[in-house]
A and B are shown apart, each in its own frame.
Chain A
Amino acid sequence: MPIYEIVFYLFSLVMLTGAVMVITVRNPVYAALSLVLTFFSAAAIWMLLEAEFLAIVLVVVYVGAVMVLFLFVVMMLDINVAPLKEGFIRYLPAGVLVALLMAAELLVVLWSKGRFEAGAYPIQAPNPEGFSNTKAVGEVLFNNYLLAFEVAGVILLVAIIAAVALTLRQRSGGHRQNPSLQVRVRPDERVRLVKMKPEPRQGS
């Protein structure tokens, strides 16, 4: 049994360290990389819960795609830290207010209904052999929650189209390439071969 616990505490430790580093580290690139580390450790802990589909999808989507784009942006920004620190005292009351509000919300959730008492979530029996996580997720998603799933898909599609529509600018005077025209170019349209008689060299 000890290996299970060792793995759990190891990844929990890495995950918490990563999460703390996201907000304490000065360098934004380090912060983004710490977030990657946090996601990855979370995926490993989900794996221990036998939720391998969710764990791997977390790695594919968040680590493999979202954070790469984040890193792109962060790496290309030339962030000057000093102006960001100005007005710390001025914004302090608002910050404290938001922090207190969030802490209060957390406490309400934690205290209500004894939800997080020991024994509220007994350790699940390991899944039987041949149990497919992916199949289980798929069956629930496409049988019980089909409508919700489709609606979520449509909302995402709307978001994609909106993002494209907001950023697309028709600029005048720009040069554009039409690949199909480029492919359809024929040599006799571009080059004119002229037959002529050889002429004597001039000036010699």
Chain B
Amino acid sequence: MPETFLDQLIYMFFLVLKIVAIVVPLILTVAYYTYMERKVIGYMQIRRGPNRIGPLGLAQPFADVFKLLLKEIVLPENANKFLFLLAPILSLAPAFAAWAVIPFDDWAILANIDAGVLYILAMSSLGVYGLIIAGWASNSKYAFLGALRSTAQMVSYELAMGFALVGVLILAGSMNLSEIVMAQKGGVFDWFWLPLLPLFGIYVISGLAETNRAPFDVAEGESEIVAGFHVEYAGSGFALFFLAEYANMILISALTALFFTGGWLSPFEGVPFLGDTILAEGSIFWFLAKTVVFMFIFLWVRATFPRYRYDQIMRLGWKVFIPITIVWVMVAAVISVFGLIVRGS
């Protein structure tokens, strides 16, 4: 803790600088993630995707952003004005705040706290409020139904996700995200995806459900309830929800990379020949590459699978995922107690 008031001010200035260094690239990533989504899905459906604005359509995200920001903000007549305007902010703030504890590399982390995993869980559970308030404040049946569906779904799948993380915590012996990554040191087969394979799968699938993405996107099933909780939002309000959803998708991808595939550690560690070169060094590029792979899986799944029915979603979450995770937590405990894998070797 710095001593004088001036010291504290300088400390806070650098803190703000670091926050900007995380948030600005994050927003740009969201912008190009939407571009990537449209291109990837386009090619999977044998068409070209956006290609008119800028070379290869690369300026398309900015055109979209300016369109959304310059549009009129429509306030529904019978909406609860205060909560209606508060909801997008409540859904965006936790999506960004969670990034505070993400370690991008050994040295690149904003807040290296011991309860990092708990903090992530807390922030992701706060995101529900944005949706439920938006649905209620809009004073519209479709919006309310969408909000109920998505909150029930998020609360259910948070349990499966939490249990999947318990397995990781048992093997890593820590809730600090950097220490979880360092516990996986030693090469591809020391990463936690192998001993925790069922939990890894469940975490990725619950991640899809948690962010209300296809095939779990009944919350905004166009064919049933128009667009779900954000039907009544236009312009920048809608843009904020959009930003929050994509920031959450990137967050889940980054967390999967940290928990199950060794974060910034290199996959070439301990491999003959390549293991002695610079490729075996852990670096931020490995972390970003793994994150992009999981981000791609989000899009791939969306282009491939049809939408789930709502009761099937609930059944999958409660009756399939949660029992499997509980069993595998026991398995992880056995692995840990009998020392079948060695942390950080």
Contact = CB atoms under 8 A, between A and B. Distances in A.
Interface of A: 2-3, 29, 33, 36, 52-53, 56-57, 59-60, 63-65, 68-69, 71-72, 75, 132-134, 177, 179
Interface bin, chain B:
20 to 34
A68 B114 contact: no
Interface string B96-119: 000000000000000001110011
Contacts of B119: 56
A59 B151 CA distance: 17
Contacts of A60: 118, 121-122, 125
Contacts of A65: 125, 155, 158
B172 interface: no
Nearest to A27: B80
B51 interface: no
Interface stretch (B126-134, B184-192, B202-210, B291-299): B126-134
Interface in B236-284: none
A68 B115 contact: no
Contact of B132 (A53, A56, A71, A133): A71
Contact of B122 (A59, A75, A177): A59
B115 A134 contact: yes
Interface in B62-118: 83, 113-115, 118
8 contacts: A2-B8, A52-B113, A56-B115, A56-B118, A56-B121, A64-B122, A68-B129, A75-B136
Contacts of A64: 121-122, 125-126, 128, 158
Nearest to B124: A64
B154 to A, nearest CB: 9
B52 interface: no
Contacts of A52: 113-115
A134 B122 contact: no
A36 B122 contact: no
A163 B125 CA distance: 24
A53 B118 contact: yes
B338 interface: no
Contacts of B315: 179
Contacts of A57: 118
Contact of B5 (A2, A33, A69): A2
A36 B8 CA distance: 30
B175 interface: yes
Contacts of B118: 53, 56-57, 60, 134
B122 A3 contact: no
A182 to B, nearest CB: 10
B58 interface: no
A133 B114 CA distance: 8
B148 interface: yes
A75 B132 contact: yes
Contacts of A53: 115, 118
Nearest to A57: B118
